[in-house]
Each structure stands twice: as structure tokens, then as C-alpha cells.
Amino acid sequence: MTALPPIEAAKRLAAYAAVDRHVKPEHKVIGIGSGSTVPFVVDRIKEKGGNESRVFVPTGFQSQELIVMAGLNLGDVSQYPVIDVTIDGADEVDAHLNSIKGGGACQLREKVLAEAAETWIMVADYRKNSQILGETWTQGIPIEVAPFAYVSVLRKLAALGSPTTPEASTACGAQGKVLTLRMGKAKAGPVVSDNGNFIVDAPFPREMMLKPAELLTKIKLLTGVVEVGLFCNLAKAAYFGNEDGSVTARLADGSVETLKAE
């Protein structure tokens, strides 16, 4: 196997373990998530073969390109509303398999494919394996917002408790991060999602992050919010590649397995 930098190697370990466990020969419709871990998922699926009679459904532009470049059959969730298994990355996963997603601004399509899947699996490196959301992913919950409503949504998120000054953020345990409209890196102006919407990153007080499903409901009810990057009660398992070459598998029933390095 090619030598990779440690974090990339950890991502690959997680992705390979998840494919080996959850993509079964009888699975014909497979969801492919977004981010930098997912290319290893596609590599493994390609390597294992048997894909001629399968269809792969992407969560966004990046995964669509991955599927096409790998020579796999591309499908759409409107053609395949029931997916056998979707494997996706995550920005942080808590002790109960709730997660923050949307670091790549794909959370709307990612959630549609997570909910469409009989089995939804997360893959990540060890840095994402957390107890409480917001511990390591400090920039806030990614929220997809209708562009014309973003100022109104920012005001409502602030009223809900998302801090707008570093002082308030530090005081409430949100690690100094503030409510922000996500801006492009090589583009003037805001990040625009694959669906033409803006992304707001909203940190919340630690006590609110302890109850992610409750927080998700509150944010989702704000007019102008399209989707929230909190994924609660959806995952069957999460796989984390570790620095020592092992993989930690955390399952929905709370059990934890360590898959030893080969």
C-alpha cells in the first residue's frame, strides 16, 4: 500500500474498514459522501470490484466527480430514493454517534442520502472521535441558508444563543468562535453551496451542544434555514482510523471495537 502522511493513512484505514464491513455483494445502490476521506471509500470499492450492476449516488459535485472518474455508474437520489448503504465523512462525532457535518458545505444532500440509506456509516480519522460535539470542531454548526434570508437567520441564531463576540463565546464555552457567514477562500464573497445557498457557521454554548437533537430542532424551525449540519440518530456505525494503524469502530448500540492493524 502507498505510504501516506499519518492523517491521510488514518482516513484510508477508516474508509477501507467501513467498505469491507458494510458494502455487501447484494448491495446495488450505494451512496457516496463528501470530503477528503471519501476518495478512499471509492478507491476500496473500485479495488474490490463487482460494480457493473451497481449504481452510485453522490452527495454533491465532488463525489459526483469521484464516481465518474472511477468509471462507476452514476445515479441520482430521485431515481434511487432507497439506498442500500451510504458511507460519508464527518467533522466530529460524539459519544452517541451524533455528528457535525457540512465542513464542505454539502450537508443538505448528505442528509438526504443519510436518511435514504438503510445503513448510514461515517468514516473519519481519530481527530473526529469525540465525546461532546464542539470539542474539536470549534468553528460552529454549518447551516445552509437561503441567501436572501441570511441576515434574518443570523439574527435568529444569535437570539437562540450563538455568540457574536469572542468574549461571549469564551464565556459560554464556545471556545472564542463566533457566528459567521462562511466566506470563500479563492473567491470574493460568501461560499455558495451546490444548491445555490449560503453557509452560516454557528457555534453554541457547551450546554446546548450536549443535546444536539434538541438544538437541531430549534435551528431547523428558523425560517430561511434549509438544512442543519447536525446529524442525530442516523448512523449505524462510525469508523475512525488511528495513528497506530488500528481502527476504532463505534456502533449505534454503544459498543466499541478495535480492529487491529494488519
Ligand X SMILES: O=C(CO)[C@H](O)[C@H](O)COP(=O)(O)O
- The residues annotated with a catalytic role in the active site are 110
- What angle in degrees, to the nearest 10, is found between the helix axes of 38-48 and 6-22? 50
d(CA 165, CA 117) in angstroms, rounded, equals 39
Binding ligand X (rule: CB under 6 A), the pick from 63, 107, 129, 193 is 107
Binding ligand X (rule: CB under 6 A), the pick from 31, 58, 75, 102 is 102
- Residue 27: Cβ within 10 Å count: 15
Give the residue with the Cβ less far from ligand X, 220 or 253.
220
Binding ligand X (rule: CB under 6 A), the pick from 9, 29, 37, 212 is 37
> Binding mask 190-229 vs ligand X (x if CB under 6 A, - otherwise)?
----------------------------------------
Q: Does 104 bind ligand X (CB under 6 A)?
A: yes
* Three cell numbers, residue 241: 482510523
CB 76 within 8 A of CB 130: no
The helix/strand count (H/E) of the chain reads as 8, 14
Pairing between β-strand 230-231 and β-strand 99-100 as defined by DSSP bridges:
antiparallel
CB 140 within 8 A of CB 177: yes
CB of 157 to ligand X, least distance (A): 19
Binding ligand X (rule: CB under 6 A), the pick from 31, 58, 75, 103 is 103
Of 72-91, binders to ligand X (CB under 6 A) are 88-91
Give the residue with the Cβ less far from ligand X, 15 or 174.
15
Contacts with ligand X by CB under 6 A lie at: 33-37, 88-91, 101-107, 110
